Structure 1
Amino acid sequence: MSLSDELSPISSDELSRYLKHRKNPRAVSRLSLKLGRFPSTFLRDGFLRAYASLSMPAYARDLFDEMPHPNVTVASLKELLARRVVHGYDGQLPLASHLGTVIAGCSRARDLRSGQQTHCAAVKLGVERDRFVSSTLIAMYGKCGKLNESFSTFLQTPQKDTVICTSIITSLATSRGDQTREAALTVFRDMMGDRIWPVDRTFVSLIKLFDAPERLGQGKQVHGCVLKLGVQVDDQLGSALISMYGRCGSVGEAVRLSARVNMDAVSWTSLLVAYTQNGYDLRAIDLFRSMIGSNVVVDRFMVASAIGACSGMEKLRLGEEIHGYSLRQGFLADVSVCNALITLYGRCNLIEKAERLFKMLRVKDMISWTALLTCYGQNGCGEEAIVLFREMLRRGIGPAKYCISGAIRASSTIASLAAGEQLHCRAMKTGNGDDLSVHNSLIAMYAKCGCVELARRVFELMNCRDVVSWNAMITGFSQHGREGEALELFDKMSKEGIRPDDYTFVGVLVSCSRLGLVAHGCSYFGAMSAEHGLEPKMEHYACMVDLFGRAGKLQDAMELINAMPFEPDQLVWEALLASCKIHGNVDLVKSVAQRIMEMRPEDPSPYIALSTMYASTSMWERKAFVQTMMKDARVRKDPGKSWIESQQVSDHSHHSVYSLQMVGI
Structure 2
Amino acid sequence: MLNGYACCGSLSHSYALFCQMQQQEGLEIGKRTYASMLHACSCAEALDYGKIIHMYVIESQLNTEDNLARNLIQLYAKCGRLDMANRVFNNLLSCDTAAYTALMFGYGDQGESSKVLELFSRMLHEGINVDEVVVSSVLKATSIEGSDLDVVRLVHTLMEVDGLNYDFHSNTLLVESYVRFDMHEDGNCILFNSLWKCFYTPGQLTDLEYAKASSRTLDKLFVSLLHCCSILQDLDLAQIVHSLFMECDKKWDAETVCSLIDVYASCGMLDDSCSVFKASVSHPVIVWSSMITGYVNHGRTSDALQVFYRMQEEGLQPDPCLCSNILKAFSCPAHTFNGRVLHTRICACKCGSEKIIKIALIDMYARCGSLSDAQYVFNTCFFSDKMTWNALIAGYACNGYLQEAFEFLQAMEKTGCKPDASTFVGMLKGCASFSVLKIGKLVHHLVLEFDCDFNFFLCNSLINMYIKCGSLDNAETFLKLTPHLSKAVWNLIMSGHIESCCSEKALLLFQRMLCAGIMLDNSILVTVLRACSSTGTLSLGMLLHSYVLLGKVKRTSYLMNTIITMYSQCGDLEDAQSVFHKSNAKDAATWNAMIAGCAHNNDFDLASRYFTRMQDEDMRPDTITFLCILSLCCHMGNLEDGLYEFNTMTQSHGIFPTFEHYNCIIDLLGRTGFLLKAADLLYSLPYIHNHVGWMSLLSHCKLHESKDLGNRCINHIVKDQNRNASGYLLMDQVLIHSQHETEADNLKELRTGVNAWKLPGVASIEINDRFFSFHVQHVDNSPCSETDDKLVRLKLGMMSCGYLPCF
Distance 1:638 1:112 in 2: 47
Matches within 5 A, 1:246-645: 248-250=298-300, 253=303, 262=318, 264=320, 268=324, 272=328, 285-286=367-368, 289=371, 293-294=377-378, 295=381, 297-298=387-388, 315-316=433-434, 333-340=454-461, 342-343=463-464, 346-347=467-468, 349-352=470-473, 354-355=475-476, 364-429=485-550, 431-432=552-553, 434-487=555-608, 489-490=610-611, 493=614, 503-513=624-634, 514=636, 515-516=638-639, 517-524=641-648, 526=650, 531-532=654-655, 536-537=658-659, 539-583=660-704, 585-593=706-714, 595-596=716-717, 599-600=721-722, 603=725, 607-608=729-730, 611=733, 615=737, 620=739, 622-623=740-741, 626=744, 629-630=747-748, 633=751, 642-645=763-766
Distance 2:249 2:515 in 1: 55
Distance 1:596 1:114 in 2: 58
Distance 2:366 2:513 in 1: 34
Q: Show the counterpart of 1:186.
A: 240
One-letter amino acid matched to 2:236: E
User: Cα distance 1:136–1:568, how it changes in 2: closer, same or farther (>3 A)?
Assistant: closer
Distance 1:585 1:204 in 2: 66
Among 137, 142, 151, which residue is 2:175 paired with?
A: 142
TM-score if structure 2 supplies the norm length? 0.55
User: Cα distance 1:439–1:113, how it changes in 2: closer, same or farther (>3 A)?
Assistant: closer
Report if the CA contact (8 A) 1:141-1:150 is conserved.
no
Superposed displacement of residue 155, structure 1: 1.8
Among 241, 251, 276, which residue is 1:225 paired with?
A: 276
Report if the CA contact (8 A) 2:698-2:714 is conserved.
yes
Report if the CA contact (8 A) 1:405-1:441 is conserved.
yes
Distance 1:308 1:468 in 2: 30
User: Cα distance 1:421–1:313, how it changes in 2: closer, same or farther (>3 A)?
Assistant: farther
Superposed displacement of residue 316, structure 1: 0.6
One-letter amino acid matched to 2:223: T
Q: Show the counterpart of 1:171.
A: 228
Report if the CA contact (8 A) 2:230-2:263 is conserved.
yes
Report if the CA contact (8 A) 1:284-1:309 is conserved.
yes
SS at match of 2:654: helix
Distance 1:597 1:561 in 2: 16
Report if the CA contact (8 A) 2:398-2:433 is conserved.
no
One-letter amino acid matched to 1:169: L
One-letter amino acid matched to 2:647: S
Distance 1:195 1:254 in 2: 31
Report if the CA contact (8 A) 2:598-2:607 is conserved.
yes
Q: Show the counterpart of 2:255.
A: 200
Distance 1:340 1:637 in 2: 26
Matches within 5 A, 1:111-150: 116=157, 119=160, 133=166, 135=168, 138-139=171-172, 142=175, 145=178, 146-147=186-187, 148-150=189-191
Pairs aligned (count): 554
Q: Show the counterpart of 1:51.
A: none
User: Cα distance 1:239–1:576, how it changes in 2: closer, same or farther (>3 A)?
Assistant: farther
One-letter amino acid matched to 1:184: A
Per-residue CA deviation, residues 154-194 of structure 1 (Å, 9 max, x unaligned), is: 12312363322222233344336xxx443234323443465
Superposed displacement of residue 415, structure 1: 1.9
Distance 2:290 2:388 in 1: 16
Q: Supply the RMSD in Å over aligned alpha carbons.
A: 5.5
User: Cα distance 1:109–1:601, how it changes in 2: closer, same or farther (>3 A)?
Assistant: closer
Distance 2:609 2:365 in 1: 35
One-letter amino acid matched to 2:643: A
SS at match of 1:644: strand
Report if the CA contact (8 A) 2:431-2:440 is conserved.
no
Identity of aligned residues (%): 19
Report if the CA contact (8 A) 1:265-1:298 is conserved.
no
One-letter amino acid matched to 1:316: F
Report if the CA contact (8 A) 1:474-1:489 is conserved.
yes
Superposed displacement of residue 434, structure 1: 0.5
SS at match of 2:65: helix
One-letter amino acid matched to 1:536: T
Distance 1:430 1:492 in 2: 30
User: Cα distance 1:601–1:338, how it changes in 2: closer, same or farther (>3 A)?
Assistant: closer
Distance 1:168 1:543 in 2: 49
Q: Give unpaired runs (5+ residues) of structure 1.
A: 1-6, 19-42, 48-73, 81-100, 123-127, 657-665
Per-residue CA deviation, residues 579-603 of structure 1 (Å, 9 max, x unaligned), is: 4445554432343345446644653
Distance 1:234 1:430 in 2: 46
SS at match of 1:419: helix
User: Cα distance 1:475–1:121, how it changes in 2: closer, same or farther (>3 A)?
Assistant: closer
User: Cα distance 1:609–1:107, how it changes in 2: closer, same or farther (>3 A)?
Assistant: closer
Superposed displacement of residue 554, structure 1: 3.1
Among 65, 68, 77, which residue is 1:14 paired with?
A: 65
User: Cα distance 1:560–1:405, how it changes in 2: closer, same or farther (>3 A)?
Assistant: same
Matched, 1:155 2:203: no
One-letter amino acid matched to 1:142: V
One-letter amino acid matched to 2:460: N
SS at match of 2:533: helix
Superposed displacement of residue 366, structure 1: 3.5
Superposed displacement of residue 247, structure 1: 5.5
Per-residue CA deviation, residues 301-347 of structure 1 (Å, 9 max, x unaligned), is: 99999988987998416899899899699988553354355445544
Matches within 5 A, 1:49-60: none
SS at match of 2:532: helix
Report if the CA contact (8 A) 1:590-1:610 is conserved.
no
Distance 1:167 1:355 in 2: 43
SS at match of 1:157: helix
Distance 2:134 2:767 in 1: 56
Superposed displacement of residue 476, structure 1: 2.0
Superposed displacement of residue 481, structure 1: 0.8
Distance 1:273 1:512 in 2: 39
SS at match of 1:645: strand
Superposed displacement of residue 567, structure 1: 2.0
Matches within 5 A, 1:77-96: none
Mean CA deviation greater in 422-431 or 316-325: 316-325
Distance 1:440 1:270 in 2: 35
Superposed displacement of residue 398, structure 1: 2.4
User: Cα distance 1:437–1:170, how it changes in 2: closer, same or farther (>3 A)?
Assistant: same
Report if the CA contact (8 A) 2:725-2:751 is conserved.
no
User: Cα distance 1:393–1:320, how it changes in 2: closer, same or farther (>3 A)?
Assistant: same
Report if the CA contact (8 A) 1:415-1:449 is conserved.
yes
Mean CA deviation greater in 357-366 or 476-485: 357-366
User: Cα distance 1:535–1:133, how it changes in 2: closer, same or farther (>3 A)?
Assistant: same
Q: Give unpaired runs (5+ residues) of structure 2.
A: 1-57, 70-93, 99-122, 140-151, 179-185, 200-204, 206-210, 212-217, 312-316, 337-362, 401-428, 773-779, 783-807
Superposed displacement of residue 153, structure 1: 3.0
One-letter amino acid matched to 1:186: I
